[in-house]
């Protein structure tokens, strides 16, 4: 028997509220509340796999969780599920889950302002609208204000889109005006498509100011067609095979995709440098790897002379042109990028293997 759409939605919301029935004073934390409901086996399995159970159970925290139920998670395609449950991609899983968590306290439905921007624990933000309450127009709240001892749960009917599953390193670079010179260089070297590939790859991304600090004329010289091999070598020296988050970096040499070696240094204050370039924004998680924004361009010794040879200036590729080429893999992409797939992952790329061995609830198995 078919039920009218609105009646079915109301019935579903009532059923969820019934399964989460509670006294005025909650007695369970967010994770235990979700487990008790019986309709979040997939979500609680992912939380366990990501090693986030402790953070979401913290009684000293005050959190708001937009929780996709099992029906919502079942909408994920098999390839995405397989990727997110592979320990190699643990940073992406964590980014996705934390994009469903607000750290601004227990944010109840009566506090929602239509069109408001809500920052999440992942560093991303989403837009909240009302009538009905929904996230980014895609995820509708079907049961609101489920109180827990450390926050509140709102049940949603779709996962919230995250850059961890939808945007590559190239996409994020093109969207950042502070990285426009890097994008122009990648375009000139025919490497934009390559850093849009599957990965995993870790990129050290120099800012516009980092490029501007090079000797006068260097950038213009590197962007000339006759210097493309030098440019490729420099750019590939900023790329490392693996999914390397900052917490996995240790002091010592690292071999890059150019074959050049750079020196990583983890300082006593926690700051990280690569060949003297300081990481100013760490752990930008993309669907195909990690980016760390740095304040200096790393120029291998073998390229220094060629990079500083000033040639007649020609117009550099524009940012708009770079945007048009973002998904153009091309036939002439340097073969060195094949190492992203062909070389064994570094130890840092296996970030979180121990966490991934944790037991996952039987209910989650239906998603694989």
* Cβ contacts of 179-183, under 8 Å, gap ≥ 24: 179/205, 179/207, 179/208, 179/293, 180/208, 180/319, 180/322, 181/206, 181/208, 181/211, 181/212, 181/219, 182/206, 182/207, 182/208, 182/211, 183/319, 183/322, 183/323
DSSP code string of 8-77: HHHHHHHHHHHHT---SS--S-HHHHHHHHSS-HHHHHHHHHHT-HHHHH-TT--EEEEEE-HHHHTTS-
Q: Which residues contact 95 (CB under 8 A, 6 or more apart)?
A: 122, 124, 162, 163, 164, 285
What pLDDT does 304 receive? Answer: 56
Q: Which residues contact 110 (CB under 8 A, 6 or more apart)?
A: none
Task: Give SS3 for 229.
Answer: helix
Orientation of helix 41-50 relative to helix 90-98, angle to 10°? 130
Tokens coding 302: 């073998």
Tell me whether the CATH fold assigned to 5-161 matches the one assigned to 167-348: yes
- Taken in order 307, 261, 202, 198, the sign of the CA dihedral is positive
Beta-sheet pairing, 139-148 with 151-156: antiparallel
Q: Distance of CA 251 to CAs 80, 141, 203, Å? A: 33, 46, 17
Domain ranges of the chain: 5-161, 167-348
Q: What is the pLDDT along the chain (368 residues), one digit of tens a residue?
A: 323 333 223 323 333 343 444 457 899 999 999 999 999 999 999 999 999 999 999 999 999 999 999 999 999 999 999 999 999 999 999 999 999 999 888 999 999 999 999 999 999 999 999 999 999 999 999 999 999 999 999 999 999 999 999 999 999 999 999 999 999 999 999 999 889 999 899 999 999 999 999 999 999 999 999 999 999 999 999 999 999 999 999 999 999 999 999 999 999 999 999 999 999 999 999 999 999 999 999 998 765 555 554 443 433 444 444 444 444 444 433 444 444 444 433 333 333 333 332 322 223 332 33
Return the number of other C-beta atoms located less than 10 Å from residue 343's C-beta. 13
CATH of 5-161, one of 2.30.180.10, 2.60.40.10, 3.40.50.720, 3.40.190.150: 2.30.180.10
What pLDDT does 202 receive? Answer: 98
Burial class for 135, CB neighbours closer than 10 Å (0-12, 13-18, 19+):
buried
What pLDDT does 104 receive? Answer: 84
- Nearest CA to 194 among 144, 137, 250, 258? 258
Fold topology of 167-348 = FAS1 domain (2.30.180)
DSSP 8-state code for residue 153: E
Tokens coding 337: 């990028």
Return the number of other C-beta atoms located less than 10 Å from residue 226's C-beta. 9
């Amino acid at each position: 028997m078919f039920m009218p759409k609105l009646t079915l939605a109301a019935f579903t919301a009532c059923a969820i509220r019934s399964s989460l029935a509670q006294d005025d004073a909650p007695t369970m934390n967010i994770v235990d509340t979700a487990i008790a409901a019986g309709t979040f086996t997939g979500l609680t399995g992912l939380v366990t796999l990501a090693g986030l159970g402790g953070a979401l159970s913290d009684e000293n925290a005050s959190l708001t969780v937009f929780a996709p139920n099992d029906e919502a998670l079942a909408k994920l395609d098999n390839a995405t599920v397989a990727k997110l449950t592979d320990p190699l991609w643990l940073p992406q899983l964590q980014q996705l889950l934390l994009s469903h968590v607000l750290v601004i306290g227990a944010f109840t439905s009566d506090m929602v302002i239509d069109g408001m921007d809500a920052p999440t624990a992942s560093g991303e933000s989403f837009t909240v609208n009302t009538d009905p309450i929904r996230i980014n127009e895609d995820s509708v709240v079907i049961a609101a204000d489920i109180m827990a001892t450390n926050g509140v749960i709102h049940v949603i009917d779709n996962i919230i889109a995250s850059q961890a599953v939808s945007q590559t390193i190239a996409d994020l670079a093109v969207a950042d005006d502070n990285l426009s010179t890097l994008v122009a260089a990648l375009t000139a070297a025919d490497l934009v498509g390559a850093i849009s590939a599957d990965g995993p790859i870790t990129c050290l991304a120099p800012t516009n100011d980092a490029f501007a600090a090079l000797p006068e004329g260097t950038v213009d010289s590197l962007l000339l067609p006759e210097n493309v091999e030098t440019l490729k070598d420099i750019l590939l020296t900023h790329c490392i095979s693996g999914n390397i988050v900052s917490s996995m970096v240790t002091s010592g040499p690292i071999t890059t995709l150019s074959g050049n070696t750079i020196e990583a240094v983890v300082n006593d204050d926690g700051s990280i440098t690569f060949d003297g370039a300081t990481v100013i924004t760490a752990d930008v998680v993309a669907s195909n790897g990690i980016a760390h924004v740095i304040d200096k361009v790393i120029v291998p010794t073998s390229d220094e002379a060629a990079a500083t040879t000033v040639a007649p200036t020609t117009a550099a590729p524009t940012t708009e042109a770079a945007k048009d080429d973002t998904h153009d893999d091309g036939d002439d992409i340097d073969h060195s990028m094949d190492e992203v797939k062909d070389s064994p992952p570094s130890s840092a790329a296996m970030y979180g293997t121990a966490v991934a061995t944790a037991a996952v609830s039987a209910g989650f198995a239906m998603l694989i």
